[in-house]
């Protein structure tokens, strides 16, 4: 189900992506998640603190209102995502966007108001001669404590009522203790000429610093979602549709499949489609990561959101709305960012017990100082410092912000990571398994040899080569397979018309068969020829075996046209493909990264060996059926390898799903992309190494963020317990920890893919 739609109870398996408001730390996201998971009919729920979103999978009959109510009962707000704006509306103007914008504006004013009231309380620390009366301190601190700090009291109340604890509990208890202690000391010294030291500045500064930290954190977090916003901005809101020769501007939602859309120069393509008229260069960099504009003319595909650089194009619509490539990219990146990496689940378990442990530590700190004779005032202030510095905000942000930044920068360069698990798993890879056609090779084979058999009965009456090619083209008519396209292209080039075929049947991994011209014909692999027990030499055509062997030795793929009724071969077809220019540099780069490279090909051994030798692959296996690829991938995993499978075809989908990480080339089939954890929008094998590199960078950044999050607490809590940190210093350190973790994640935005060498390796033609 698409994330922007509202599910209905009649849907078999409804799902929701909700915006959540009011979360302050990992304990909050954990409580919302538990509240959703406890709902009858919820199959799974995942809540992301950094994105402030929840993804919920439900059973039939579960209502939207029930899901939203569960979040509200837990003490938070929840909204459905905004619908697509209509023509004339500004993007992002829906209820959820307005609520978020209002919350950001309110947070900014609260920070300003807090600073205005708190700075005078801190001036005596800088100017000892300046003494503020208790009345002035109280007047300045009280609005901060109970107006600006109301959110902490509300959050703490909801948490305690749910028998839980979070950052709000720590801040509310800590600042209330400092504020209350100030009132007690003030009352005890009432009427004295010397005013005691009060701690109003401590309570006010902690609240103001926490609010300032949250405001800075929110601004930084918005930077991590910049990639999503940039992709969403590519969606045109209207399109010019040609109807009966008249160009009419309509909202994008009214464009239907088959409509002809006019795309002027300098405008973005509003839909997915194929060019029916005109030629131009199109900038697809935001979608595929390809930096150079690509030429597009009649028959070429176009992706919605790409920019038409020069000439006007007429485009026949093939996909609209949520079915367009751009919409699926946005949904894929959003899904990856709202999901949880495996390491985050460990962090969540730690966060669940962290706050209760801190409360105990703070109580022990206060009790220890009091029993040690330091006095109630000192004991209480040190306990407050422990409470304030130990807020688990940074701990909850370290993983999701790194995931958001990593998936965002990857998407900007044409690497779409469908889930956080794939991103984290990719850094552990030890072996990369490649399919060949369309992955390491261009995937556009040519028919380099067509050898017709002499007639078995009466050579003079045997079929001519033109008729044989016509039969071969007829068998392949309508197929999208690269070999089929090569046969059809050759027939067209020679002016041969494809013969009409009846009862065409594709045989998986082998070929195709049909009836035509009174014959039962088949076109397929050498493997199939052997399974049919047909030997060209038996019909007096010994030349065929020699030609086929020579073609295989040159790295060509060999197919056979066969008469199934007569049990004889009619023609030998040899296909050649070329290696992608970046294939060899990519393999070399992967090996330099410590990865083993393997080729699994459905082609003959000679062809597979030629490609493997040309690229320097560590291992290869030929004549591999789809089920054999799965078995081989599983065997590698059973041997302890962490395996990535790279492919683009339907026959690669099972192996992509069986691998630890599946990587699909976007030029391949929809089935392959659905089965993969990572989709490479540019059909360049160099993106495989880039995907692994960004995974490694992201995991390093994630671990660095977790290290600093833990380090602040490991160092700060003992210092606070030892009386070496004031509550104000503890509040500053706590705010700094959250901001530094987010800034650490933002360092990923500087990552750029390595441009592979463009020199074409000297290698034989490679088979499909």
- Specify if 272 maps to a domain: yes
What pLDDT was estimated at residue 340?
65
* Strand bridging mode 643-647 / 431-434: parallel
> Within this chain, do residues 381 and 405 fall inside the same structural domain, yes or no?
yes
Neighbours of 323 (CB within 10 A): 14
* Domain of residue 535, CATH code: 3.40.1110.10
Containing structural domain, residue 289:
256-319
Q: How many CA atoms lie within 13 A of 474 on its CB side?
A: 25
- Specify if 529 maps to a domain: yes
What pLDDT was estimated at residue 109?
93
> Within this chain, do residues 330 and 434 fall inside the same structural domain, yes or no?
yes
Query: What gap in Å lies between CA 746 and CA 749, rounded to an integer?
Result: 6
- Specify if 242 maps to a domain: no
Kindly report whether the global pTM for this prediction surpasses the value 0.75.
Answer: no
In angstroms, how far is CA 94 from the centroid of its own chain? 25
Judge whether 41 and 62 are in contact, CB under 8 Å.
yes
In angstroms, how far is CA 570 from the centroid of its own chain? 49
Query: What gap in Å lies between CA 715 and CA 730, rounded to an integer?
Result: 11
Whole-Å CA distances, 364 to 288, 289, 388, 389: 57, 56, 15, 16
Neighbours of 528 (CB within 10 A): 19
**Marked catalytic residue, from 82, 259, 348, 435:** 435
User: Which burial class, exposed, middle or buried, applies to 305 when counting CB atoms under 10 A from its CB (0-12, 13-18, 19+)?
Assistant: buried
Coil, strand or helix at 292:
coil
> Within this chain, do residues 117 and 227 fall inside the same structural domain, yes or no?
yes
Whole-Å CA distances, 308 to 231, 239, 296, 414, 625: 16, 14, 9, 19, 41
* Domain of residue 55, CATH code: 3.30.70.100
What is the total residue count of the chain? 768
> Within this chain, do residues 115 and 225 fall inside the same structural domain, yes or no?
yes
User: Catalytic: 577?
Assistant: no
Judge whether 66 and 35 are in contact, CB under 8 Å.
no
> Within this chain, do residues 618 and 738 fall inside the same structural domain, yes or no?
yes
What pLDDT was estimated at residue 10?
41
What pLDDT was estimated at residue 745?
86
Query: What gap in Å lies between CA 16 and CA 25, rounded to an integer?
Result: 22
- Specify if 247 maps to a domain: no
What pLDDT was estimated at residue 85?
45
- Specify if 4 maps to a domain: no
Coil, strand or helix at 55:
strand
What pLDDT was estimated at residue 8?
42
* Strand bridging mode 502-507 / 511-516: antiparallel
**φ, ψ of residue 236 in degrees (nearest 5):** -65, 150
Q: Bridge partners of 450? A: 573
Neighbours of 609 (CB within 10 A): 18
- Specify if 249 maps to a domain: no
> Within this chain, do residues 493 and 613 fall inside the same structural domain, yes or no?
no
H or E element that contains 350: helix 342-371
State the total domains in the chain.
5
Judge whether 353 and 30 are in contact, CB under 8 Å.
no
- Specify if 685 maps to a domain: yes
> Within this chain, do residues 138 and 224 fall inside the same structural domain, yes or no?
yes
Q: Which of 168, 170, 217 has its CA nearest to residue 52? A: 217
Which residue, of 547, 576, 605, is where some domain finishes? Answer: 576
> Within this chain, do residues 602 and 732 fall inside the same structural domain, yes or no?
yes
What pLDDT was estimated at residue 675?
61
Judge whether 523 and 570 are in contact, CB under 8 Å.
no
Which residue, of 81, 98, 122, is where some domain finishes? Answer: 81
What pLDDT was estimated at residue 758?
41
What pLDDT was estimated at residue 30?
82
H or E element that contains 716: helix 686-721
Mean pLDDT, consecutive 10-residue stretches, the chain (768 aa), reads 40 78 79 90 85 85 89 86 48 60 84 92 79 91 94 86 79 87 85 74 85 78 67 81 88 89 89 90 72 80 85 89 78 67 72 82 93 88 86 74 85 82 88 86 82 58 77 87 86 89 82 86 87 79 83 80 87 86 92 94 77 91 81 92 83 80 70 68 87 93 87 87 85 79 86 59 41
SS3 content of the chain, % helix, strand, coil (to 5): 50, 20, 30
> Within this chain, do residues 500 and 545 fall inside the same structural domain, yes or no?
yes
What pLDDT was estimated at residue 150?
93
> Within this chain, do residues 583 and 562 fall inside the same structural domain, yes or no?
no
Query: What gap in Å lies between CA 662 and CA 418, rounded to an integer?
Result: 10
Which residue, of 52, 81, 110, is where some domain finishes? Answer: 81
* Domain of residue 309, CATH code: 2.70.150.10
> Within this chain, do residues 338 and 468 fall inside the same structural domain, yes or no?
no
- Specify if 661 maps to a domain: yes
> Within this chain, do residues 671 and 749 fall inside the same structural domain, yes or no?
yes
According to DSSP H, which parts of 510-625 are helical? 526-531, 542-553, 583-592, 605-615
User: Which burial class, exposed, middle or buried, applies to 71 when counting CB atoms under 10 A from its CB (0-12, 13-18, 19+)?
Assistant: buried
What pLDDT was estimated at residue 165?
75
């Amino acid at each position: 189900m698409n994330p922007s739609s509202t599910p209905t109870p009649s849907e078999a398996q409804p799902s929701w992506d909700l915006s959540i408001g009011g979360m302050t730390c990992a304990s909050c996201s954990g409580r919302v998640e538990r509240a959703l998971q406890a709902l009858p009919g919820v199959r799974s729920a995942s809540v992301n603190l950094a994105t402030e979103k929840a993804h919920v999978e439900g059973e039939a009959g579960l209502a939207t209102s029930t899901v939203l109510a569960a979040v509200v009962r837990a003490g938070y707000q929840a909204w459905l995502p905004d619908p697509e704006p209509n023509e004339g509306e500004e993007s992002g103007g829906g209820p959820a966007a307005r609520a978020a914008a209002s919350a950001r504006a309110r947070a900014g004013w609260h920070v300003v108001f807090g600073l205005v009231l708190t700075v005078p309380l801190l001036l005596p620390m800088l100017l000892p001669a300046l003494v503020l009366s208790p009345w002035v301190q109280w007047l300045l601190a009280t609005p901060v404590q109970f107006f600006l700090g109301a959110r902490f009291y509300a959050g703490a109340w909801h948490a305690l009522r749910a028998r839980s604890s979070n950052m709000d509990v720590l801040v509310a208890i800590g600042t209330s203790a400092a504020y209350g202690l100030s009132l007690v000391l003030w009352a005890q010294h009432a009427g004295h000429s010397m005013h005691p030291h009060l701690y109003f500045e401590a309570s006010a500064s902690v609240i103001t610093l926490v609010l300032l930290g949250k405001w800075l954190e929110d601004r930084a977090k918005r930077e991590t979602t910049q990639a999503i916003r940039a992709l969403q901005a590519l969606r045109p809101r209207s399109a010019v549709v040609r109807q009966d020769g008249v160009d009419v501007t309509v909202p994008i939602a009214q464009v239907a499949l088959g409509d002809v859309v006019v795309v002027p120069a300098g405008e973005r393509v509003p839909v997915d489609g194929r060019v029916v008229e005109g030629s131009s260069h199109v900038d697809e960099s935001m979608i595929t990561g390809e930096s150079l504009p690509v030429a597009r003319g009649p028959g070429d595909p176009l992706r919605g959101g790409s920019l038409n650089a020069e000439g006007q194009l007429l485009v026949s619509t093939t996909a609209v709305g949520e079915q367009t490539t751009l919409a699926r990219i946005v949904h894929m990146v959003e899904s990856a960012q709202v999901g949880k990496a495996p390491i985050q689940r460990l962090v969540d378990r730690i966060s669940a017990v962290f706050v209760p442990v801190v409360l105990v530590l703070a109580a022990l700190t206060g009790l220890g100082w009091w029993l040690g004779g330091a006095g109630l005032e000192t004991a209480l202030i040190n306990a407050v410092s422990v409470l304030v510095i130990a807020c688990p905000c940074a701990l909850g942000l370290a993983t999701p912000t790194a995931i958001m930044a990593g998936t965002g920068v990857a998407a900007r360069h044409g690497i779409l990571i469908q889930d956080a698990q794939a991103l984290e798993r990719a850094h552990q890879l030890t072996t990369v398994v490649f399919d060949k056609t369309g992955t390491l090779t261009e995937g556009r084979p040519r028919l380099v040899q067509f050898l017709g058999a002499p007639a078995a009965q009466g050579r003079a009456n045997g079929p001519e080569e033109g008729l044989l090619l016509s039969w071969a083209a007829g068998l392949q008519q309508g197929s999208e397979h690269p070999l089929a396209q090569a046969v059809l292209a050759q027939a067209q080039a020679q002016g041969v018309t494809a013969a009409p075929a009846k009862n065409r049947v594709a045989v998986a991994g082998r070929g195709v068969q049909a009836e035509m011209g009174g014959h039962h014909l088949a076109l397929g692999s050498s493997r199939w020829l052997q399974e049919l027990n047909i030997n060209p030499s038996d019909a007096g055509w010994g030349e065929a075996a020699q030609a086929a062997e020579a073609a295989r030795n040159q790295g060509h793929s060999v197919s056979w046209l066969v008469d199934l009724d007569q049990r004889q071969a009619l023609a030998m077809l040899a296909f050649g493909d070329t290696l992608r220019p970046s294939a060899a540099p990519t393999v070399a780069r992967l090996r330099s990264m410590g990865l083993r490279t393997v080729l699994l090909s459905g082609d003959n051994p000679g062809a597979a060996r030629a490609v493997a030798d040309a690229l320097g692959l560590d291992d290869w296996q030929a004549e591999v059926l789809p089920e054999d690829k799965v078995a081989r991938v599983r065997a590698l995993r059973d041997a302890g390898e962490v395996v990535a499978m790279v492919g683009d075809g339907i026959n690669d989908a099972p192996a992509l799903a069986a691998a630890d990480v599946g990587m699909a080339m976007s030029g391949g089939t929809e089935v392959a992309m659905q089965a993969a954890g990572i989709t490479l929008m540019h059909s360049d094998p160099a993106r495989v190494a880039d995907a692994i590199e960004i995974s490694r960078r992201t995991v390093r950044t994630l671990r660095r963020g977790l290290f600093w999050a833990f380090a602040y607490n490991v160092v700060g809590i003992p210092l606070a317990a030892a009386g070496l940190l004031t509550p104000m210093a503890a509040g500053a350190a706590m705010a700094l920890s959250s901001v530094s973790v987010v800034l650490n994640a933002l360092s990923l935005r500087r990552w750029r893919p390595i441009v592979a060498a463009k020199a074409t390796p000297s290698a034989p033609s490679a088979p499909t």
